A and B are shown apart, each in its own frame.
Chain A
Amino acid sequence: MNFKDFLFTAIHSLTINIGRTVLSALGIIIGIASVIALISVGQGAQSKITQNIQNLGSNLIIVTSGNAKVGNVKQGIGTAGTLNQNDLTALESRSNTPDVVAVSPVISKQGQLIYKSQNAVTLIEGVTPAAQVVNDITMSKGSFITEPDIKDNLPVIVLGPTVASELFPNSNPLGKIVTIGNTSFTVIGVTQAKGSSGGGSFNQDNQVAVPITTAQAELFGNIGYSTIIVQAQSAQAMNNATAEVENTLMRVQGITNINQANFNITNQTQILTTLNSITGTFTLLLGGIAGISLIVGGIGIMNIMLVSVTERTREIGLRKAIGAKNSDILYQFLIEAILITVIGGFIGLTIGIFMDYLIATYIIKVPFIISSIAIILSITVSITIGLAFGIFPAYKASRLSPIEALRYE
């Protein structure tokens, strides 16, 4: 018997019992579909996060001040505000930090903006003009904070596009006066949307910027910087620049052991690596859960194949009596099992890609990515499952004695 005959026989037996075939394939269809959908959605989320982080600017080193303590309880990172003007000046000196191109000090707090009857609660950042370079900000209207604004503590404000549309749904915000607390600020610019939807601190569209000096004088009091963002010359210079920043700060603060420092240095590469490893683990976890359903599906196929062998005992006996070798029977049942899983695998693949598209586009709004790894994996896995779970029923069938089988009622 050649492969064509085996295939013909297998397709024939599967179509005779189409209901049972569909039921046994269902486990594989669901398993493969969920593996594909979950892994692809996971990868979409990962690329979204990467994009969000790169939206912050490129080649960034983030220096945050240590944690403030209330009693013995550490507060959030950056709450101490222990980075000061001396640190900033030292970092800005190119002789200390030759691999650095820009330094952007930041103080920030959550606050409420009011314009007439509208209000918005948002993150208020005190920044210098360097923030525009470092955070890769482009303006959609007006201009960013300038050096004279800083020098003269001018009450001017740059709005993120989300804040702008909340406060000025129908009018041009430029030149309008908004108030924060008791201070009035003139709107001088609106930044271009970065399309960030990650929420939390990654959402640069939902924040506002004021001159750092104004923030200290009018809003937050003369506190230290919560963050200093440093931009390295290039991706290759990241490690050198990070070391330069660390050494400079330690020298300025007069410490020799980095463990005593009341600041943290993180660079963007580390953040990306960490986040990618988190989402990677998450994707793996989702894939693993979906993988379990694949195994359950495989066991379902084994069950149905075993039933099928029992049901077709007489057929097996007859086939053997008229010349089928043990191997002929083995291949017949094995090919049936593999055929179920492969067809189920392709159906699952189609459904999975469709589910991925729906989830990515409409529910969690991440880029729609078809994971080629997931596809190759699922096809390989479905063939393997067909083999692994089909071999036992097929072996059982092939070992049936023809007399017993023919006698079977």
Chain B
Amino acid sequence: MITLKGIYKIYGDTGNEVTALDNINLTIEKGEYISIMGASGSGKSSLMHIMGLLDKPTRGEYILDGVNTKDIKEKELSTVRNKYIGFVFQAFNLLPRTTVMENVILPLIYRGENRDSAEKKAMKILQNLGIGERAYFKTNQISGGQQQRVAIARALTQEPTLILADEPTGNVDSKTTLEIIKILQDLNDEGHSIVIVTHEEDIGDRAKRKIKLKDGFLIEDKIIKQKRI
């Protein structure tokens, strides 16, 4: 489903270069649940940005669903992201003072879907995540855990090929962390492919496959026994 071949990401000008990713090779199949781990500065954010089509690798090839992403024009990247990648961010990144519903249907609106059918889809997902009754609350009127669930719901409305979660539990308490982990686990059980970027071992162990980065190198890539809730 996803293949990364010889990916390099180099920042800075010639003579002053910082190699954030050094020859990364990786294949992700449908239905996988992968954690990408590493200390800060290890390159995990760079890798996530490339996988999320927010950034382009300096060298190497990224093949997504059989399409070499090199061939995607700058203008079309948004459309491709909208179709393939569902983001869940550490800081939730919901629109402030806007209803939960507006936030969740946003990707569908950008896709050109009409509001009614988008709201119907969104409501179903919100109910599945247990926050159906919060649909018409403003995002600043709900708890952090609920906000992250809204963010997950927003990613799910896209029906993405891959859910990309960047430190999704970084901003919530430990009880809510477990709730979020449970949701991701359930989604993976339903067949969604998930990549979670984290620096916490305990969160990393909740995946089925663990990848470790250090100074831009991929130093570990192994199937692990999932620590389930």
Contact = CB atoms under 8 A, between A and B. Distances in A.
A321 B52 contact: yes
A363 interface: no
A321 B81 contact: yes
11 contacts: A1-B109, A5-B115, A321-B52, A321-B81, A322-B154, A323-B79, A323-B110, A324-B110, A325-B75, A326-B78, A406-B89
A2 B110 contact: no
A318 B93 contact: yes
Interface residues on A, range: 20 to 34
Interface string B50-87: 00101100000000000000000001001101100001
A325 B79 CA distance: 7
B182 interface: no
Nearest to A403: B54
B15 interface: no
A402 interface: yes
Interface residues of B, number: 27
A319 interface: yes
Contacts of B93: 314, 317-318, 321, 406
Contacts of B79: 323, 325
Given A5-B109, A328-B110, A403-B49, A323 B89 contact: no
A2 B113 CA distance: 9
B87 A321 contact: yes
Nearest to A325: B78
Interface in A306-342: 314-315, 317-326, 328
Given A321-B54, A322-B107, A403-B54, 5 more contacts: A318-B93, A321-B52, A322-B82, A322-B110, A406-B54
Given A1-B110, A321-B52, A323-B111, A16 B97 contact: yes
Nearest to B95: A315
A381 to B, nearest CB: 32
Nearest 7 A-B pairs (CB), nearest first? A323-B82, A323-B110, A318-B93, A322-B107, A325-B78, A403-B54, A16-B97
Nearest to A5: B109
Contacts of B158: 322-323
B78 A12 contact: no
A350 B78 CA distance: 43
